[in-house]
Amino acid sequence: MHPHEGNGSPEDRRLQIAVAGGSIGGLCAGLALHGSGFDVNVYERHPGPMDTRGAGIVVQGELVQLLDTYGAPPLPTTSCRVRRYLDPQGGDGQVQSMPQAFTSWEAIYETLRAAFPKERYHMGATLVGVNAPGDGQAVSAEIEGHGHIKTDLLVCADGAQSPTRRRLLPDVQSSYAGYVAWRGTLDEADAPKELVRFFEDAFTFSEARSGGHILTYFIPGAGADTTLGRRRLNWVWYVAADQDELGPLLIDRDGRQHHASLPQGGIPQTTVQALVDRARHEVHPKLAELVAATPDPFVQTIVDVVVPRTVFGRVCLLGDAAFVVRPHTAGATAKAARDATVLATALKRARQNVDAGLRSFEDTQLEYGRDLVGYGVALGQRWASKHARKPQP
């Protein structure tokens, strides 16, 4: 019997839920919904192991609460005691006491995978079609490798470039913020010892001379290892880039044009060298040294996405598939965890009135998503670049 085929009336069976997208957002949804007693299967389009090197993430309470509530294993984290602001001219700047915990994409993903039933996580399963008749009616979805399934609810957590969002809300477009985020991670074992000592126990920031800022902190290393000597230094540098600069910036080593980001290993060496040269002129010398020592940096455009609705009959959008917020908020992962918790709670409270539960979820999600996007815009204008502009509505 297919995971989403069952017998009995709605009163004597569990609500069947399919989650499209098995990255952090989809796993948050799967964990919260499964932990709330629903019959959940998660479908991930990648056929094999995910690219887990990823980037650093500031730990937020919403994620910790979800993991604690639904019995996940401890999340591997690093920490610091101070926040330090360096002078781009080379001065030591200011230090303030501000304890902070950090983790990585890999650590979160592996923690969620360990907590979610393995037999309910299906890889190589791409959502290719959806038929959502309306309130109160089951959803028919076509999933590559699994054929057609019928489910009481389809949760779409298929990321910032969500194909489902494009199908359901074709008029919603991302709004470019006027700058990009360069990112990199450097294995502690490969870092010069003086850099490790310099950045130890601190969340370090520096403005760049021509606008924007760069930051760095330690995160778990390969295999989510937090042992001293096996961590990674994670950095992010926000750099202004006009719309006409994006095209050349997003051409990979093989000459292919990308539109939202270039992954690790895809940046041409000439572009990497230009970034290293810019760092030497723009940011604190220790941060410039970190950029120069980092293999395979990667880049993403900073965009905002605001949606007018997130529920379409028995289909809903969750995490980055709904609102896309700026990294300054440290809120994308927290938002996914919060969306998942709110959805599970609303459905559980609604009992058999699924549509009422979805309306409650949507109201809460829309308010929070709009507020978080607005907060990100404000932070971006303050910190990222004097050239950043407010997105058009």
pLDDT confidence band for 263 (50 / 70 / 90): confident
**Three-state DSSP class for 110?**
helix
Exposed/middle/buried for residue 89 (C-beta within 10 Å: 0-12, 13-18, 19+): exposed
Contact 245, 204 (CB under 8 A): no
Once rounded to an integer, what is the mean pLDDT over residues 195-199?
98
Residue 341 scores a pLDDT above 90: yes
pLDDT confidence band for 110 (50 / 70 / 90): very high
Residue 8 scores a pLDDT above 50: no
DSSP string, 317-350: E-GGGT-B--GGGT-HHHHHHHHHHHHHHHHHHH
Q: Which residues contact 345 (CB under 8 A, 6 or more apart)?
A: 36
Residue 57 scores a pLDDT above 60: yes
Query: Tokens for 10?
Result: 């709605």
pLDDT confidence band for 51 (50 / 70 / 90): low
Once rounded to an integer, what is the mean pLDDT over residues 195-210?
95
Residue 100: per-residue pLDDT: 97
pLDDT confidence band for 387 (50 / 70 / 90): very low
Once rounded to an integer, what is the mean pLDDT over residues 229-240?
96
Chain-wide mean pLDDT for the chain? 92
**pLDDT tens digits, 28-48:** 999 999 999 999 999 999 998
Q: Which residues contact 6 (CB under 8 A, 6 or more apart)?
A: 13, 16, 39
Domains belonging to the chain, first-starting first, are: 10-71+107-173+305-384 (3.50.50.60), 78-103+175-303 (3.30.9.60)
Residue 388 scores a pLDDT above 80: no
**pLDDT tens digits, 140-182:** 999 998 899 999 999 999 999 999 999 999 999 999 999 999 9
Kindly report the pTM of this predicted structure. Answer: 0.92
Residue 389 scores a pLDDT above 80: no
Once rounded to an integer, what is the mean pLDDT over residues 289-301?
96
Query: Tokens for 175?
Result: 């709004």
Once rounded to an integer, what is the mean pLDDT over residues 243-265?
91
Contact 157, 145 (CB under 8 A): no
Provide the CA 286 distance to its chain's centre, in angstroms: 28
Alpha-carbon Rg for the chain in angstroms: 22
Exposed/middle/buried for residue 96 (C-beta within 10 Å: 0-12, 13-18, 19+): exposed
Residue 324 scores a pLDDT above 70: yes
Residue 393 scores a pLDDT above 80: no
**pLDDT tens digits, 73-99:** 999 999 999 999 999 988 888 999 999
